Structure 1
C-alpha cells in the first residue's frame, strides 16, 4: 500500500471525528518513524505489510476514541517532547498559558534579585510538563514536581532525562504530604477541577484519561481549596501560587485566594477566550 493510499483510507475511517486528517498523518508518521514532511514528500512510497498492519491497529484504536497521545505514547508541549501514559493527563496547549504566567512572574522577581535562584514546586506533575517547561527556561532555578502516583513520578523523571533537563527532580507526594519543611518562591498546579457529575467526563479524549486527575468533588474545587489552604505554609514571603482551572471557576478561586491572604490576584484567559489561569501572591 502506498503512503497516500494509506492516508486516504485512514481519513475515511476516521471521518466524523475531531480531526481525521491530522490524526491519520500523526499515526502514520509514528508507525513509519518518519516526519509528516516525509509523508508529503514521498506519497508514492510503499509501506510494508507489517507497517500496514500496525497502522490499521492504530487507526482502529483512534476510531474507538483512544487519544492519539496514548496510542503513540508521546506529546509535544512547550519546546519539549514528552512521553505519555494512561496514568497521567495528556498535556494540552492551554496549559502553556500557565507556564507563560509563571515565567513572566519569575523574570520580574529575578530582576530584583538576579543572583538568587528560585525554588519552584509543581503539584500533581503528571508527565512533568509544567515542571520541565519552567525548568527548561529557568536553568538556574530548582524545580521539584510531585505526584501521588509513583507511575507519574517515574514517567516525569524519564521525561526530564530524555529532554536533558537537570534542574528538575520528581518525588512521590500527596500534594504537600512529603515536602517536609521545604519552602518555595512559586507553587504551580494544574489540579483536578472537574465536577464529579460533569457530562464532559463522557466526551472525547477525557473518557480515557485517569479520573483521579480530573474529578474534584461536587463543584470541582475540592483540591484547589485544599492547596490554597495549605500553600501559605510552603511559600516564601511574596511567593506566587498559580493554578489552571475550569472556564467558569475564576471568580470563586479569586475569592478563595483573597480570603487566604493572597494579593495581586488575577486571572488570564486561554486561547478560546475563557478564564483559565488564576494566581496570587502571598502577603507578608
Structure 2
C-alpha cells in the first residue's frame, strides 16, 4: 500500500507536466485552469463516495488536546522528531526541483516547456522506480536506515546539481541534469515511502488521524520556508548558489535526524488522547 500511494503521487508528478504541455499547445492558460477546476471537482466527488474504514473515537478529550495532540507527539517521540527533521531535508530538495526547474531549463538553457516537463518527468520516474522496490528493501533493512541513506544522498545530489549549473555548459549540462533529477526523486522516495511505517508505529488507533495530520502540517510548514527561499535566492544570488543554500538546510535536517535516532526504537506507549508516552 505504501508503494501504491507513492506511485499514485509520482504518476501525478510525471503525467501532469506532460499533459499540461500538450494542452497548452491546443488551448489557453484560462482554459487550462478551468480544466484544473473540473479535475478538482471530480476528485471531490470521488472522495465523497469513498468508503473509509471505521476508526475508534478519540474519547472524551478536550478540543485543545485533540487539536495539538499530533504535534505534541512529534515533539515527544524521538522517531517522530527524526521524521520532522527529514521533512526539512525533503523540503529543501523539492524546493530546488519544483521552484527552479522551469527557470533553469527555460531561462538558463533557453529550452521549451516540453523540456521542463521532461526534466520534471525524469524526477518523478526516479521516485516511482524506488517506490516500487522499497517494500523489498524494507524486508532486508530497517526503515530508519533506508530513510537516513536517502537523507544523506540528497544534499550530495544537490551539491552535484550546483556544480552542474555553475560549470556545466550546453548539452553536457542538460545530460547531467537529466541524470541528477531522477536520482533526487529516488532519494526522496526512500524517505517518504517508509514514513507511514514510522507514523503507524508511533500512534494508536485513536490518535493516528491526528499524527498523520500533524505530519502533513509540519511537512508543509517546511515547504512554506524552503519554497519562497528557493525562489528569492534564485532571483538574487543565482541557481547554483541557491542549491548551495538548500544543501546547507538539507545537511542540517540530516544531522538532526541522526541525533534524534541515535538511540534504539522505543516501544509505542502513546496516550490515546495526546499521543505522548
Would you tell me which structure has more strand in proportion to its own residues? 1
State the TM-score bracket (shorter-chain normalisation): under 0.3
Identify the structure with bigger relative contact order (alpha carbons < 8 Å, sequence gap 6+). Answer: 2
Q: TM-score, normalised by structure 2?
A: 0.26
Which structure dedicates a bigger proportion of its chain to helix? Answer: 2
